[in-house]
Amino acid sequence: MPVICKARVYSMKALPSIFTLYGMPKRAFCHGGSREESSYNSCKNKIISPTISKDEEYDIAIVGGGMVGLALACGLSSMRLAKELSIAILDSNPALKLTVRFNKDGVPHPRVSTVTPATISFFKEVGAWEYVEKQRHAYFNQMQVWDYSGLGYTRYHSRDVGKDYLGCVVENKLLCDSLLSRLQNLDFKKTIHTCRLISMEFPSQGNPTTTDTEQVHMMSGSPGVVPSGNTVEQIHHGSSIKLVLSDGSSLFAKLVVGADGAKSLVREMAGLTTTSWNYPQNAVICTVEHSVENNCAWQRFLPSGPIALLPIGDKFSNIVWTMSPEEASIHKSMSRDDFVKAVNYALDYGYGSHPQSKFIDGFMHRISSISGQNMASMEEHFQLPPKVTDLVSERMTFPLSLRHAREYVSKRVVLIGDAAHAVHPLAGQGVNLGFSDAAALAKVIDQGLLVGYDIGEVSLLKKYEKERKTANMTMMGILDLFQKAYSVDLGPLNVLRAAAFHGAQFIAPLKRNIVSYAMGDQKWPLFT
């Protein structure tokens, strides 16, 4: 009998009892054909070279060891059957092989993410949030958004939807380190390759896909024993993709996951096309300090784009300031003191007056009170954010664009995170969409294993695409609409924007749905 490759044995262990429990016939793990189809006599003419060792065979190769790629690995490790899969993580970052050492002291890095309660729940499910909580992070339960024209503002509070917080701001490095620490502490078949992907060789369409890579048996009857002078060769039947790496090695995987960012090499090699356009804007990000602790998320829409002030803990805040490329260059190079003055100007009286309480505000508030739909944030008046006292990190800039893959999947390839979609940072939703992708894909793979699916089969992967594409396109459309609506300084449009702010502030059902959607608690932004 052939010797089954190691990954196959681990993957098959959990299946017999499951099939018995559900009264289903057994099917080959990840394949549709019978394992008895392969024998030395039937396949000895299909031997290929060079040698493929058992350790180079994986069920899944995740290309990209950033936040979303690591989140998928953690998600798979927490699944009922998927935790038995063998996983390869490919990323050139050598830190992925080091023991994580958290450092709570020092200045927060400028690259942060605002994670939603839905993302936090996912981190808790996979066991990674406990590592975040041991380090610096900032929950916030209030948010204020206003327009530079002074015509309108809206405030949100977690109590509006019966929650303790609206979100939590965490450094990207800490999110990565927390997921990596969780993986390092799991008894989970994963291998990290600290090198780059060079190319992918796809299985020939003419080859059968129902067989597996199996070691050739020698006539001596001893599996794996090669007579002197012979070369060890194995059979690869076309059921896996060959990945060639920058260190000269190669590996095979039944499913390749592109988690390698907006300029995804996996997406390009798989021939998955995108729709994209660039915004005439850059984002400037940095860490600033206050004299008091900030516990609210602030966002003001300016003529050239929004500026956000996000709490990060210990009297620090993060700035995400959208402006034209020319303005970004100026703000990046200006002196430290001048930059602090520019930030305070943009968050205070700069470009226009503060929103004032108008007659219509009081009228709408009274209507809400009479209807019994009054909410906590409706009682709150416009407030000024805390003054910035110092710039404490480097200023980083990057161009903004929108990109969306027309298809997320092809045979044995699937995209997640920025490889599938890149959005405007307007509402800080980009990474949350990626984490939702990771959670959804892990569940689809696990459900597919339960009924004997090939994990690289398009029909299975399309279930993931169907779930996530709709959600991602909805969020992308909303963010793109906001970007365009606030890029025009025109009297009638300013009035419409003010009306939108008033509606979001005083129409309780609308406010409740906006908050729930932004928190990831519901799929649609309006009245569901």
| Cα within 13 Å of Cα(200), Cβ side | 25
Pick the closest to residue 470 from 401, 525, 426 (CA basis).
525
Separation between Cα atoms, residue 414 and residue 435, nearest integer Å = 15
Contacts of residue 371, Cβ cutoff 8 Å, sequence gap at least 6: 508
Cβ(143)–Cβ(298) below 8 Å: yes
Q: Nearest 5 degrees, angle CA 450-CA 453-CA 455?
A: 105
Above 60 in pLDDT, residue 214? no
Above 90 in pLDDT, residue 425? no
Cβ(302)–Cβ(319) below 8 Å: no
Task: Write down the pLDDT at residue 480.
Answer: 84
Instruction: Specify the range with the lowest mean pLDDT, choosing from 130-139, 247-256, 302-311, 349-358.
Output: 349-358
Which comes out higher in pLDDT, residue 363 or 220?
363
Residue 416 pLDDT grade (very low, low, confident, very high; cuts 50, 70, 90): very high
Task: Write down the pLDDT at residue 520.
Answer: 83
Cα–chain-centroid distance for residue 501? 29
Instruction: Specify the range with the lowest mean pLDDT, choosing from 173-182, 304-313, 479-488.
Output: 479-488
Above 60 in pLDDT, residue 77? yes
Above 80 in pLDDT, residue 503? no
Distant-in-sequence contacts of 124-131, Cβ < 8 A, 24+ apart: 125/78, 126/71, 126/74, 126/75, 126/77, 126/78, 126/179, 126/182, 127/74, 127/78, 127/182, 127/186, 128/71, 128/74, 128/178, 128/179, 128/181, 128/182, 129/178, 131/102, 131/177, 131/178, 131/181, 131/182
pLDDT in tens, 22-49: 334 333 333 333 333 333 333 333 323 3
Above 50 in pLDDT, residue 215? no
Mean per-residue pLDDT, 412-429: 89
Separation between Cα atoms, residue 453 and residue 463, nearest integer Å = 12
Instruction: Select, from the ranges 23-37, 52-66, 353-367, 477-491, the one with the highest average predicted confidence (pLDDT).
Output: 52-66
Three-state secondary-structure class, residue 169: strand
pLDDT in tens, 356-370: 755 445 545 555 554
Cβ(71)–Cβ(44) below 8 Å: no
- How many residues would you count in the chain? 528
Mean per-residue pLDDT, 422-442: 89
At position 471, the amino acid (one-letter code) is: A
Residue 315 pLDDT grade (very low, low, confident, very high; cuts 50, 70, 90): very high
pLDDT in tens, 267-283: 999 999 999 999 999 99
Task: Write down the pLDDT at residue 105.
Answer: 80
Task: Write down the pLDDT at residue 43.
Answer: 33
Above 60 in pLDDT, residue 212? no
Separation between Cα atoms, residue 275 and residue 421, nearest integer Å = 9
Task: Write down the pLDDT at residue 523.
Answer: 62
**Dihedral sign, Cα of residue 340, residue 342, residue 346, residue 352:** positive
pTM: 0.81
Task: Write down the pLDDT at residue 373.
Answer: 58
Which comes out higher in pLDDT, residue 4 or 447?
447
